[in-house]
Amino acid sequence: MHPIVSTVLKRFVLGVMTLFLVSLIIFSSIQMLPGDFGEAVLGQAALPETVKAFREELGLDKPAWQRYLNWVASVTQGDLGTSFSGRAASGIDRSRPVADLVAPRLWNTLFLAGMTAVIAVPLSLFLGITTALYRNSIYDRVINSSTLTTISFPEFFVAYILIVLFASVWPILPSLANVTEATPLGERIYKASLPAITLTLVIVAHMMRMTRAAIINLMASAYIETARLKGLSRSMVIIKHALPNAWAPIATVIAFNLAYLVVGVVVVEVVFVYPGVGQLMVDAVSSRDIPVVQACALIFAGTYILLNLIADIIGIVTNPRLLHPR
């Protein structure tokens, strides 16, 4: 078997094992939450007999290990379970499948993440390459100072500053990103502008600095010095020789930050009341909707593991040393 194929298969198996371990952590963490889930859903005024019957209906009376195995078995078959919300209505079950609740929210989160990535990835690559090209110049120092300042602020602080500036002082963008499935594309982009700008400011700093560091590290290599001695300009040396060999660390950084866009948007979605998976998860935790919380957490974990796997594959393919194993 080709070494690249075997390495990719090993990473894939490791990713699946990691996802199972994360699912166990997710389930265990939810079980350690204080309070009774039946009383939290039905209310404290519910009779003990009603709570007992409700727990039996949902299977909460079974041992934890049995509920975990049932949940994992259902997830492997594509069934995320049924939401607890709506079951407390007097005898009428208005609950919905978790997949129906998560699907539109996941689309909203992916839209926001994609909108941010379209802006952030090219901008960070441009800034990283140009700051490496003009290293130690005023341009380099200004960009580095600005990105270091931005990366030092938490997301909610950046979000509130942008709300004050662009929704209050200069009211050109909405402070609430209350989009729906029927929202037209143009209006959706307009309403999601402030959340996207917030995420862009947060991740551009990291990607730009890592791109710059990767290129500067390669500039000290012997083959780069040979290219310089051939009379190539500094820009051509970076673009033709340094950048292709820097794709592996750059791709890893981009994948990490794209994973953050999907996983770490919870704070931004809550600040802007954006109807994404993060906001859904926060609401589900408040209402003790266990299946929804488990599904959202598992989606976050799976997305993070998948993007890291893609980063590993890109790093393996772009590393020529793996093509000639010793």
Size of the chain in residues: 326
Tell which residue, 187, 156, 158, has the closest CA to residue 174: 187
Supply the pTM of this predicted model: 0.80
Q: Are 146 and 127 in contact (CB under 8 A)?
A: no
Tell which residue, 250, 170, 168, 162, has the closest CA to residue 200: 162
pLDDT of residue 211: 82
Q: Report the C-alpha gap between 151 and 79 in whole angstroms.
A: 39
Q: Report the C-alpha gap between 237 and 129 in whole angstroms.
A: 11
CATH for the 111-278 domain, from 1.10.1200.10, 1.10.3720.10, 1.10.10.410, 3.30.360.10: 1.10.3720.10
**What is the mean pLDDT of the segment spanning 302-321?**
75
pLDDT of residue 215: 79
Give residue-wise pLDDT tens across range 16-57. 898 889 889 988 888 777 666 666 666 666 677 777 777 777
With a pLDDT cut of 70, the percent of the chain lying above it is: 87
Task: Indicate the domain borders of the chain.
Answer: 111-278
- For residues 55, 61, 62, 63, the Cα torsion angle rounded to the nearest 10 degrees is 130
**What is the mean pLDDT of the segment spanning 125-132?**
86
- 7: amino acid identity, one letter: T
Give residue-wise pLDDT tens across range 247-281. 777 777 777 777 777 777 788 888 888 888 888 88
- Confidence tier at 91 by pLDDT (50, 70, 90): very low
Q: Are 75 and 298 in contact (CB under 8 A)?
A: yes
* CB neighbourhood size of 259 (10 A): 20
Q: Report the C-alpha gap between 111 and 63 in whole angstroms.
A: 39
